[in-house]
Amino acid sequence: MRKSIKRLMACSLAGIMAVSMIGCGGKGSSEKANVSGLDENGKVKEISFPLKEQQELSFITWASSDSTQNPNERVIFQRLQEKTNVKIKWTCYVQDQFADKKNLALAQAKNLPDGLFNADMSDYDLLRYAKQGVIIPLEQLIDNYMPNLKKVLDENPEYRTLITADDGHIYGFPWIEQLGSGKEAIQSVGSMPFINKKWLDELELDVPKTTEELEQALIAFKENDMAGNGQTIPMSFILNDGNEDIGTLLGAFGEGYGDIPEHLSVSNDKKVVYTAAQEGYKEGLKWLNQLSKEGLIDPEVYTQDWSTYVSKGKAGRYGLCFTWDCANIVPDMEDYVPLPALTGPEGTKNVPRAKGSDTSGLGRGRAVLTSNCKDTALAAAWIDQMYEPQQSAQNNWGTYGEEGKANIFEMTEDGMLKHLDLNGESPVEVRNAQCVAGPLAVLDSYYDKYVTCPDDAQYRLDWIKNIYVSDMNQEYVYPNIFMSQEDLDKITPYTTDLNKYVKQMKADFIMNGKIDETWDAYLKKLEGYGLSNYLEIMQKNLEHYFKSLEETK
């Protein structure tokens, strides 16, 4: 069935062309792309898929090394070509080479493709290439030719706020994946603690509810050598490594802010807090130092990599470990349960929430159009197909009905994509073989309407809702804000120096102690690295974000 995109705009031709042919400055193509996509009469073009005559667009993308390097061999793109009659000329790079190859390609102004599909552009990249005139603003194309994406942004105005740069332009087509929202979002707790319930049962111990009870359980694991042959590791993690860090436990101390990788929290009166400079952080590290002295912490937490961490976990050695999903770490996830929020020595109990988790998964720069794009209207309309609900689900996870291959989905009789039991196949390998990623939107409202929720996501969502939400005492998290290039330039040296020093001292405090004696010097050093200036910029942007949200209501 053909789908028409047709709207009329009542404004003067001169005004339209002044906006449509605008250059972004810098060294882009000598013939600037039409950033509104309007025709010579100032009207929205009629684009109906499938096109009567085949058209071609060119895109750069990447693929994982264990999958085909020819995107047109993927069933998803083959079906899209049949649906749209748009042929894509791909330049595809292996994922681990993509960053360098992308930068080289974008430096060749005269040879730019129409766009980048899996652009993976940081905020700094988007602003830099926009200023140079390499990529173009997209907001008019979204309004004129992208009804699927426009619907997502109209119904979820916070996303339009988050993808709009300080100058009012949108430079990247987003990737949006909702799995829960607010406190119940799947990303709200990154580093989840899992305790060995089998060992607790054998020792006739309850799941700990306080820091003291946890300490006693870890001691019991060690003294009874629960793994056997001296192989027991009461507690392990990867210090300073995001989802494998220990920061969640620190919510039991002091103010209860805990710690997250960015060391940023927001108080209930909307003030930015640097977690690694709080008394609760200090008291939590003193407690961890005590556990270290008692031999309850894996001595390799400071240096081990992911493979080492997993190999010890799969050998059944852990009493307590930290990760996104314990199925990746332990031999049998039935033996482990999530450790709930603990009450600390002063009665504090809080689950620190991850930065940006209120809006679930968001990537601002998943796809872009370049100043060399000859038909921006067609390119935008083609990309908009990625935002059709079932297309987004397939692009994100994989597809159905591919003969001779393991499929992520089956299409049910009532037209819903149902996740399949993979019967021992690796979900990662099947997904890499089928999905195409790129710009997309999977919203909570799509589940059980267009697509089922993946089992591994559903049990994590259930854990968060049933175990952790009631102890999330903070109403706000620091959002995924799109800062100006000026502010990004200012905070980069601050975050570089602060993060390096905090990581160093976090390890030193846990391993060697002497926290009370050196705490004041530590705080002074943080200030010397620009902490106050950094927080001032972060606070300014937070206030601007809340104001922008109010204006969209």
pLDDT band at 11 (very low <50, low <70, confident <90, very high): very low
Average of per-residue pLDDT across 172-179: 97
Which tens digit of pLDDT belongs to each residue from 241-279? 989 999 999 999 999 999 999 999 999 999 999 999 999
Is residue 6's pLDDT more than 60?
no
- Same fold for the pair 13-180+361-388 and 192-352+483-552: yes
Which tens digit of pLDDT belongs to each residue from 297-306? 999 999 999 9
Task: Look at residue 31 in the predicted model and tell me its pLDDT.
Answer: 54
Which tens digit of pLDDT belongs to each residue from 370-396? 999 999 999 999 999 999 999 999 999
Q: Which CATH architecture has domain 192-352+483-552?
A: 3-Layer(aba) Sandwich (3.40)
What is the distance between the terminal CA atoms of the chain, rounded to a whole angstrom? 36
- Average pLDDT of the chain, as a whole number: 92
Tell me which CATH code domain 13-180+361-388 carries: 3.40.190.10
Strand (E) or helix (H) holding 197: helix 197-202
Task: Look at residue 302 in the predicted model and tell me its pLDDT.
Answer: 98
Average of per-residue pLDDT across 58-62: 97
Instruction: Give the dihedral sign, CA 29/35/37/39.
Output: negative
CA proximity to 373, closest of 46, 137, 96, 548:
137
Task: Look at residue 8 in the predicted model and tell me its pLDDT.
Answer: 31
pLDDT band at 504 (very low <50, low <70, confident <90, very high): very high
Is residue 533's pLDDT more than 80?
yes
Task: Look at residue 549 in the predicted model and tell me its pLDDT.
Answer: 84
**What is the spatial distance between Cα 62 and Cα 116, in angstroms, rounded to a whole number?**
9
Rounded to 10 deg, the angle between the 211-223 and 279-293 helix axes is: 20
Which tens digit of pLDDT belongs to each residue from 114-138? 999 999 999 999 999 999 999 999 9
Give the DSSP letter of residue 36.
S
pLDDT band at 286 (very low <50, low <70, confident <90, very high): very high
Average of per-residue pLDDT across 42-48: 95
Task: Look at residue 13 in the predicted model and tell me its pLDDT.
Answer: 33
For the chain, which residues make up each domain, given as ranges? 13-180+361-388, 192-352+483-552
Average of per-residue pLDDT across 160-185: 95
Is residue 436's pLDDT more than 50?
yes
Task: Look at residue 455 in the predicted model and tell me its pLDDT.
Answer: 86
**What is the spatial distance between Cα 337 and Cα 343, in angstroms, rounded to a whole number?**
18
Q: β-strands 417-419, 264-266: how paired? A: unpaired
| C-beta separation of 344 from 466 below 8 A | no
Token digits for 220? 């019991």
Helices (H), 294-362: 306-314
Is residue 425's pLDDT more than 80?
no
Helices (H), 388-450: 389-397, 427-434
Q: β-strands 192-196, 272-274: how paired? A: unpaired
- The more confident residue out of 12 and 252 is 252
Which tens digit of pLDDT belongs to each residue from 456-469? 899 999 999 999 99
